[in-house]
């Protein structure tokens, strides 16, 4: 499954934590942030996870020169010039409106329904306008389930590499199937008086301590024990579904279970251990 960056899109209005009931362990978070650079849109050049794995901001084309295949999800609009971000005019910038240090996505499909898990350490701009000073960085967890026999107001247990969440299905439109829609973002936002502090994405908790920022504890990578190996210089190929390793909970899979009122399992909705992963290794 090729990862689709449209599911990762963010605006300043959506950079807020929306939570269900979560059960997650206390673990070390992302550990270090690198310097900014004009060639990375004045975003940090790299972040380092809890194991010391250091990943560069992954931009195709004028930086990575990979065509095809493309192991990064985004690229500057003008491949003949270096990336840049203008102070005032988005049209004068040569930078995508989003980019990623790391992503992992899993998809379950059955019976005309789908469940999508999106995990990312992401760079974006306030209001999606590529303007210097509007840079934002955040870790994202997104769970979207549509169809798959979901029943409105019934609870579902979602197990994924960074923990377990118990979420309630809703049905806003009686003409459409019940669904689950959760997004959690941890990081920094731009305000009228302050630019983003790129170290905010390292903070271990959010929502006044009620939720945990688990991404990067450590990042997930392709399982080296399963062929094929990840491309040289990368932790995976987002164009290829592959088994992963690195879950701090040991849950290197994405699973959804429907629960009875007493918390026991009524049925297995779906499960997969295949992920599309992107991330570019930083030079030593």
How confident is the model over 52-98, as pLDDT tens digits? 999 999 987 645 554 556 899 988 888 777 788 888 788 888 889 99
pLDDT for residue 1 is more than 60: no
Look at the chain and count its residues.
Answer: 284
pLDDT at residue number 109: 95
> Looking at residue 30, what is its pLDDT?
72
State both tokens at 16.
Answer: 């807020």
Residues 164-215 have pLDDT tens digits of 999 999 998 888 899 999 999 888 877 777 888 898 888 765 544 455 677 8
The three-state secondary structure class of 1 is coil
For 121-159, write each residue's pLDDT tens digit. 999 998 888 989 899 999 999 999 999 999 999 999 999
Q: What is the pLDDT of residue 206?
A: 52
pLDDT band at 19 (very low <50, low <70, confident <90, very high): very low
- C-alpha distances in angstroms, 262 versus 11, 228, 252, 256, 258? 39, 43, 27, 17, 12
Greater confidence (63 vs 117) lies with 117
For 234, list phi and psi in degrees, rounded to 5: -135, 160
- Distance in angstroms (rounded) separating the CA atoms of residues 234 and 118: 19
Domain ranges of the chain: 5-281
Q: For 119, left (φ over 0), alpha (ψ -120 to 50), or beta?
A: beta
Average pLDDT of the residues in 16-44: 64
Q: What is the pTM of this model?
A: 0.86
């Amino acid at each position: 499954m090729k990862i689709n960056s449209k599911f990762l899109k963010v605006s300043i209005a959506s950079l807020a934590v929306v939570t269900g009931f979560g059960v997650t362990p206390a673990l070390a978070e992302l550990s270090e942030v690198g310097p900014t650079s004009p060639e990375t849109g004045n975003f940090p050049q790299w972040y380092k996870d809890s194991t010391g794995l250091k990943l560069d901001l992954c931009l195709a084309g004028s930086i990575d020169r990979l065509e095809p295949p493309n192991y990064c999800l985004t690229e500057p609009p003008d491949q003949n010039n270096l990336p840049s971000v203008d102070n005032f005019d988005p049209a004068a910038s040569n930078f995508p409106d989003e980019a990623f240090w790391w992503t992992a996505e899993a998809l379950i499909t059955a019976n005309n329904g789908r469940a999508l898990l999106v995990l990312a350490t992401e760079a974006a701009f306030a209001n999606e306008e590529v303007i210097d000073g509007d840079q934002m960085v955040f870790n994202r967890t997104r769970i979207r389930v549509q169809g798959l026999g979901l029943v409105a107001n019934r609870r579902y247990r979602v197990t994924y590499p960074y923990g377990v969440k118990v979420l309630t299905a809703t049905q806003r439109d009686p003409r459409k199937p019940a669904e689950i829609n959760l997004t959690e973002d941890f990081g920094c936002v731009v305000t009228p008086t302050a630019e983003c502090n790129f170290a905010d994405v390292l903070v271990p908790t959010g929502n006044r301590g009620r939720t945990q920022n688990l991404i990067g504890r450590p990042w997930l990578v392709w399982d080296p024990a399963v062929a094929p190996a990840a491309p040289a210089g990368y932790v995976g190929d987002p164009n290829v579904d592959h088994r992963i390793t690195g879950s701090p909970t040991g849950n290197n899979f994405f699973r959804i279970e429907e629960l009875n009122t007493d918390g026991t399992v009524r049925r297995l909705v779906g499960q997969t251990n295949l992920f599309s992963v992107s991330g570019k290794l930083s030079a030593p």
